[in-house]
Amino acid sequence: MWRNDATLLDIAQAARRIVMFVQNVDEAAFTANAEKHWAVVAQLLIMGETVTRLSEELKTAHPEVEWVKIAGMRNRREDSLGCGLAYCNRGHP
Instruction: Check: CB of residue 18 under 8 Å from CB of residue 43.
Output: yes
Q: What is the largest CA-CA distance in the chain?
A: 43
Closest CA to 24 of 33, 66, 6, 44: 33
- Confidence at 31, pLDDT banded by 50, 70, 90: confident
Asked whether the whole model's pTM tops 0.85, one would answer no
* pLDDT recorded at residue 80: 44
> Cα separation of 36 and 87, whole Å?
14
Q: Is the pLDDT of residue 63 over 90?
A: yes
